[in-house]
Structure 1
Amino acid sequence: MSQQQRNNLIGIPREASSSQLLVKNEAGEVFIATSVSITEKISELSYIEVAVLNLGMDVSAWLGQHISCQIFDQISPSREPVRVYKGVVTGVKILFDADQGSCIALTVEPWLALLRYSRNYRVFQNKSTQEIVSEIFTELKFSGKYQVKKMPKVKREYCLQYNETDLAFVCRLLAQEGVHFYFERDSDMLILQDAALPFDDADQQDFDHFSLPSGDNPLLNHWAPAFRYHSGVLQLAAYNPASTALVEAESKTKSALPGSHSLTDFRYPHPSISGDLSDINKSSAQRSKAQQDSDYSLVNASTESYLICSGNYLKLTSHPDLEQLDDYLVIAARSIYQVDEKGGLSNHTDFNCILSSLPYYPPLLEKPSVSGMHSAVVAGTSAGESTCDNQGRIRIKFHWDEVTGDKTSCWVRVAQSMAGRGYGLQFIPRSGQEGLISFLEGDIDRPIVTGSLYNSKHKAPYAEAETTKSGIKTQLKGESNELRFDDKKDSEELYLHAAKDYFLEVKNDRKIIVENDVDEQVEGKKSVQVTKDISTKTDANYSLDAGKAISEKAQNITLHADKTIVLKVGSSQIKISASKIEIKSSEISIKGTSKVDVTANNVNLKAQIALKAGSANTELSGDIGVKVKGGTMAELSGGAMTTVKGGMVMVN
């Protein structure tokens, strides 16, 4: 504390009823203050510094106390405070000690400031900003200390609070939606309101410029308009993967600035909310441009009046420049109340205001920037299951997310080596696996899965001793499908395993070259269906072995051999060579249901014991002659009659 402040303490009354600056704590105890300074602004926390005479109270006991700072413009038994500032003590320090007590400095902020001391990582899904903010306020036991006048109802499909305090997160969402907040005059009631709506004008006050006092209104002893140049057009763009299109929107300034019409402020990507991206882009552009317009014309002013408060209107009723006469909105103010050494109270307020016709939008606040990769677990109903939508997107669960189930995040896109319209590469991480997460443009609300990670629970398919092996191995339950490559020297191998069925489809030609052996083993049936020809050629032997039977069926079957064809069953065989056909068996039967013809230059029928030819009629004929001869005996006989007939018959 300065010497001047110490001197001012000399005239400070020691009775509360004789002081114009008082502080009251939660217990109802009243303390005398020596000075109060208040800084307040729409959509920002007010900040109060109070110097208090502390008589007998433990200094540290002030922390966390809800107090009110009361400002009086007079000393009388029936007086009422002209201003009341309420808040929570978030800081305290001793300015100096004296015999009768100490003088301490209190830092007082609204209850909303307590959200600064709560930091979190969490995901909100399919909720509006109002629902998210209300959930946080209720969670922190502040459900009755705020009022929503109007807020947009747009749902956020996915909203991530990432390493942010609850205060920073809430303020960021409100600014993004074009919602400002402020505290009611002389109250700790927080008001949330769409910035496009006007403020309550119940506390509007008329002011005169000090150079033209009317005698009825408080004076403004300083009034200085300031102007700031800005671009004429604001253009926002964002890529919408749902429509695979670039969605653009623009808004033009209301201020007629020379040359600004050709200046475009183009922003891509912009902070977006889920919903119809075209409407969101348009409203975002309008809000951002309105925020620029409100900065175009800003008035810096000051007064000794108690009546200035951010979020209130004032009317300028007199000024040398008649164009200044208008209604204004106070957007920020800093007031200082000071007790002088004679016990008198002085007040000075510096403030900023804009034309009331301009909506005041809070400036956008930056999202936390995410650098590098992050890890998460693929969400699903059961471990190992594959759960994705028609775009190949999955749900994820960050390690810090306490929510369980299969909807711990929105549908998150999965990066692939190639992604075409109905074609490309598709490997979808399974439930329970660890995924590698990145964020498009560093935007925490746009996660993307870029890969998967092995860990102590999910180990790599090939052990440390198999470092030469690479491949793809998929598994859901039981058996797995696998394509493996082994680059081990002299043991190189390509291995393909199907857990059940293997289907190969070739639209045109298929060519296989094997430079050594082929070993094919089928434990069930094998069926080959060919529309055109089949040709099999070998430079060595061709062997066909069946355990039971071999059946061939065709309109024509041709067996061709340059030397010999042998058909063999046991001791029986048919041997076909280029010059003859040999049939060998213990018994040979030739049967024709209609006719059997044997034709040759010479036909010899020879039997070791007997040769028999017989039927209803048996005829032996020759064009020249027929000879029947028996080495020992020849017999011709008929059961009824025997006829021997010829041009000449010789019987000897």
Structure 2
Amino acid sequence: MVWTQTKRHVQLTSAHPDIAMSLIQQADLVESLLGMPLPDSVWDKPALMPAPTAYPSPYHQDQRQLSYRQRQLALYCGYRISLTLLHPQAGLDTKGWLGQSLAIHWHTADTLLPSQIRHGIITEVIALGSNSGMAAYRIICEPALSQLRLSSHNRRHHHLSLSELIKDIISPYNINVEIDERLSGADDYHIQHSVQYNQTDLAYLTQYLALFGVTGYYRHDTDRHTLVLLPHDAEALRPDASDIHSTLSQNPPSLADRQDRITAIRPQIVQHIQNSEFYRYDNRLVGLYSGHSSTEQTIESASPSTHKRFIHSHSYLNDDGLDKLATRYQKSKVQLANIGSLTGNIRHLSLPSVHDIEGNPYVTEPISLVSIHHSINNHIPADWLGHAPFDPITLQPNTNQAHDNENIHHISACYLPFPHHYHIPYEEELSRLGQPHPSLTGLMSASIIDTNSSSAVDNDRNHRAHIRYHWQSEDSSDDSSHWIPIASHLVADHMGQTHPLRHGQHVLIDFIGGDITHPIIIGSTHNGQGNDDAQHNRIASDTDFIDATSPVWFINQSHAYPIDGIKTQSIDSSRTGEATKDHAINGYNQLMFDAHPESPQINLYSSSYQSSLTLGHLYQHSDHTRGQARGQGISIETEAAANVQGSTGIHISSQTSGSQSKQHMSHDSHSKLQTADQHQQAYAQLADIHQPVGLEGNASNKQSGNKADSQTPFAEFSQDTNDNRLNESGQWQQPHVLIDSQRHLALLSGQHSQHTSTKSTHSHATGSTHYHSQTQMNQLVAGDIYYYSNKAQTHTAAHGDVTIQAHQSEMRLDSEQVLRIHSRDNIEIIAPDTLTIKAAGSGIELSGGNVTFITPAQVGYKASKV
């Protein structure tokens, strides 16, 4: 017998000729009640479910990075069919297959449901390739509802019932839908206001079906499929015992009963109901709800039933409306408290259906199926050419392929025990949650208020403040305000950023988890209503009104470039509104970055004694107004004292060096100190050479030989001025002060100037040295004074006397050559006792009125007259 179109377990029907001529090698059908968990066998086949990024993101924030198993809404469209087709021809034009309608059907051998049929639209085609036999293609079929995930909208809905909302969403699509009349109720299924913001239509519809506890299933007719939407407690989902569809057998298999039997059943209880993190609606619903059961079945912590998402809409914001919504939502979640699974080779199962179990003494109550995974294998060898005859009745499994098994039709299903919604006293749980209160989506604006009326800063030790929302009345009582935490960029134990908020600041408020009872200040903003000088509140804070603020710096006609920075405001000035810099009580600090493209500057300023540090182009600046240019470079100014202190040295230099210089910053200055030290040592040697030797001297007349006094202290380490010497281990890392000027160095004093050294003082100039004084110049030395010059010396007193006096010891005039004493008037040499003049062994001695001529030879007199 040749394998023909009618000799298969599962068959297909399609209007497209290529599809109609194909043979089904394998089929996987996953179907579930909307929002229900899927069997674990679904996740064992990665190709069966799409990748999370296969469709557009359902929200404006991208949630596609989560796997479908984590998102539970994987199959909210109802079902998904994966077919592997075999065709004699490879390379078919599969692009035309997309959008084609398809139907699969199979015989069940059940008297009540002799055949099954499923409809779908082809949404994905993959050519798997070909070999020596048939070419293989994989197609994915989904219901018409799946096309809602391909478009997103921004729209608002006002005062609609849930039924009207569903019709508005699906009306542009060709979808057959039946909606239970109870969903049109204005009381239980009313939507006061709803916003669809960048959400796909399927995601938007899904959130409301889940919110109101609505589920659904598909009814497949001969030529179409219809979506049936109904509440979670509808009779179709929990029929009476008299409406049991069939009895499933779990008895041991026999030759007469090899089909339609359960091979395994696993009762299970989930230890919590969906962890209802209902962020954006009723904060009472946040928490865990435990089930009541004595089963010891292992709990899977990674269950696909985790339910977390955001709700962007509101129902009636009153106690009655919230109670109804919370109860309905919780009842829907209670259904999933006890989820079991079963496997078997049953062919007639469909949704929704309720069955008895025969042959299992532990499962005595009926079960209600919520999801089914049909795995159908026609056992067609991939290398079959399509012409060899064989009998399909004796067809055996193909052991050469890992995905084949001994079953032609195998199912995995999830079920709920019957009655499945009375296992948890949800009413008692809700009663313990307290009164409902609404939650909010988005930010609110508020102003900082002063509850003390004594200070503009009313923060507690934990950096919290009091606020008044802008929708609150101005005369509302401050007694209702609470401490609101302030968010900071960095917070830790005894560290972080702290910016106390002033009375009247305009702040933005967010809500933790959407809970309106847990606000947090996340930032502040300007409302553009401040003074023209853009520095203070428009209204003084001592009044009972909310203040307005404006930026401290902004672009205007005087400075058409942006200014960045930080400015604080004193407590007093924030209350009084005083805005001028020179005001005694307007204390503040600022760090300003002037972004002028041609003359940028950085200014660090404190109003205390007008102290500032300016880098870059030095301009006068008053708030946002730019004044006159004052130069370039660095300016340090203060009206009080300035102190520069360096424990391991201070180096001040006007040396020009690039940022890429590899030398130590004081390298050049130390080189100059070394040169000066070498010059001074050379002059000291010359002074020793030119000591007076013509007369007898004593020790007090000779220069001291103490080298420690004659050398500079830099001589000890200036012999090695390499960078390593000058770095961490160098001698310069000591409390020295080094001032190096590349050109002129001027020190000016308005009154007295004093230079004091506890040891030696050395002055060195490679050129001339000048000392000027308008009155007197006094040099006072406790020891000796030595004057040495390599050339001539001139001592001149233009209008006074020249007095050189040796008070106790001798005074000597010593010359290596001629010694001349010249006067334009008279010369007087006065001695109280004896005056002796000697030359070459002769001399004249004046003593006691006597004149004595001393000569080894003759004495002569020369005179023009006698």
The two structures have a TM-score, normalised by structure 1, of 0.49
**Between structures 1 and 2, the one with greater strand share:** 1
